């Protein structure tokens, strides 16, 4: 009796007559049929087995059976019936076609050697090779996706299938391990680069300010706390006393006195605002104004005299220049007679400056 569970699970085999390889399809059908007769249909008679076989082969199988001239004894023998189907289908299989297919088998780049070997064996079964193992070894070498494996195996005169497979598997395992190691190393280097880059950016953004002496971001000048404030040492804008470069180069002592009704002032060169730490600071020392009187025509103008030392060989020449005080000018005009005193070697006989 058929098991109810087997019926519900639809475990009975069926023959696929539309298969491209119909001989192979019938071999699997026969194998499944024998398994069924040994399991949940165990104990049934041969006549019942024949009935089941004809039902499972469908309309096509039943038509073939009706066209055969078989004795009553053969018709009731399940083994004889299965062999009859095999002999009928065998001519439709061409081993030369399968050999052509076998020669074209190649290992896919991501395919394991075990899967490739399984495909080779399945096709080799249909090729009717006299030395099937030798042909499988040859095709495994030529179809292998790894050139290193091919070079290693081609140089050997005699090869067993198991030796060939072991060599290919060893290379496969080594390749996977190296790929894993490379991935780990790449990940580690990437992490180091990220940390290094982060530290570099942090270092560039956060450093001691040359104007206020504190640490803050430098992407905006106005973020400096000294911006817009006056230095308590020199009175200039945008820096604090502790970072004043003028007071570091000399002791600054403001002087205020009166002489002839005029104020005596201590004037210094105006510090040029610096945008980057790489710019050099240039300042002229304090200038003591001896006279600063009012001109009738130009009341707001002030003049002073500054002495400049010029080295000429081993001698030093003192040159007095009367200058108009202008703390914000980027350049000034120098009279020719003063230039002649300072740089006589650059003057021509006609009192012209050499170009």
Token pair 């001989």: residue: 23
- Selected from 1.10.1200.30, 3.40.50.2300, 1.20.1250.20, 1.10.260.40, the CATH number assigned to the domain covering 95-183 reads 1.10.1200.30
pLDDT tens for each residue of 175-197: 888 877 877 776 666 655 555 55
pLDDT at 57: 92
pLDDT tens for each residue of 229-240: 988 888 888 888
Provide the whole-model pTM: 0.36
227: tokens are: 């911006």
- CA distances from residue 1 to 7, 32, 42, 54, 227 in whole angstroms, order as listed: 11, 18, 9, 18, 101
User: Does the pLDDT value for residue 260 go beyond 80?
Assistant: no
**CA 247/CA 302 separation, integer angstroms:** 24
User: Does the pLDDT value for residue 227 go beyond 60?
Assistant: yes
> Where do the CATH 1.10.1200.30 domains begin and end in the chain?
95-183
User: Does the pLDDT value for residue 297 go beyond 60?
Assistant: no
Token pair 């090869």: residue: 159
**CA 105/CA 139 separation, integer angstroms:** 8
Q: Among 84-98, 133-147, 182-196, where is mean pLDDT lowest?
A: 182-196
Please tell me the total number of residues recorded for the chain in this structure: 355
Q: What is the mean pLDDT of residues 64-75?
A: 91
**CA 50/CA 155 separation, integer angstroms:** 55
User: Does the pLDDT value for residue 50 go beyond 90?
Assistant: yes
3: tokens are: 């098991």
Q: Read out DSSP for 134-201?
A: HHHHHHHHHH-S-HHHHHHHHT-S---HHHHHHHHHHHHHHHHHHHHHHHHHHHHHHHHHHHHHHHHH
pLDDT band at 102 (very low <50, low <70, confident <90, very high): very high
């Amino acid at each position: 009796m058929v098991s109810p569970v087997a019926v519900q699970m639809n475990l009975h085999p069926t023959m696929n007559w539309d298969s491209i390889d119909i001989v192979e399809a019938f071999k699997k059908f026969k194998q499944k049929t024998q398994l069924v007769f040994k399991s949940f249909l165990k104990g049934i008679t041969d006549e019942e087995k024949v009935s089941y076989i004809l039902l499972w082969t469908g309309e096509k199988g039943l038509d073939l059976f009706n066209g055969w001239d078989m004795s009553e004894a053969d018709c009731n023998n399940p083994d004889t019936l299965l062999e009859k189907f095999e002999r009928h289908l065998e001519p439709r299989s061409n081993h030369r076609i399968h050999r052509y297919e076998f020669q074209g088998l190649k290992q896919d780049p991501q395919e394991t050697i075990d899967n490739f070997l399984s495909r080779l064996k399945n096709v080799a079964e249909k090729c009717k090779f006299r030395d099937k193992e030798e042909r499988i070894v040859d095709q495994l070498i030529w179809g292998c996706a790894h050139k290193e494996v091919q070079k290693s195996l081609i140089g050997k005169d005699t090869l067993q299938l198991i030796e060939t497979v072991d060599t290919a598997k060893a290379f496969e395992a080594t390749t996977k391990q190296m790929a894993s190691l490379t991935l780990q190393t790449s990940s580690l280097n990437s992490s180091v680069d990220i940390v290094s880059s982060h530290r570099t950016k942090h270092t560039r953004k956060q450093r001691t300010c040359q104007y206020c002496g504190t640490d803050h971001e430098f992407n905006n000048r106005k973020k400096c706390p000294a911006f817009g404030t006056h230095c308590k040492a020199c009175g200039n804008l945008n820096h604090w006393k502790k970072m004043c470069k003028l007071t570091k180069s000399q002791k600054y002592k403001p002087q205020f006195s009166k002489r002839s009704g005029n104020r005596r002032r201590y004037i210094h060169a105006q510090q040029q605002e610096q945008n980057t730490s790489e710019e050099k600071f240039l300042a002229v020392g304090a200038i003591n104004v001896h006279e600063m009187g009012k001109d009738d025509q130009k009341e707001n103008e002030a003049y002073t005299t500054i002495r400049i030392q010029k080295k000429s060989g081993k001698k030093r020449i003192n040159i007095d220049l009367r200058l108009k005080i202008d703390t914000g000018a980027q350049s000034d005009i120098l009279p020719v007679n003063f230039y002649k005193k300072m740089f006589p070697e650059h003057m021509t006989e006609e009192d012209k400056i050499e170009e």
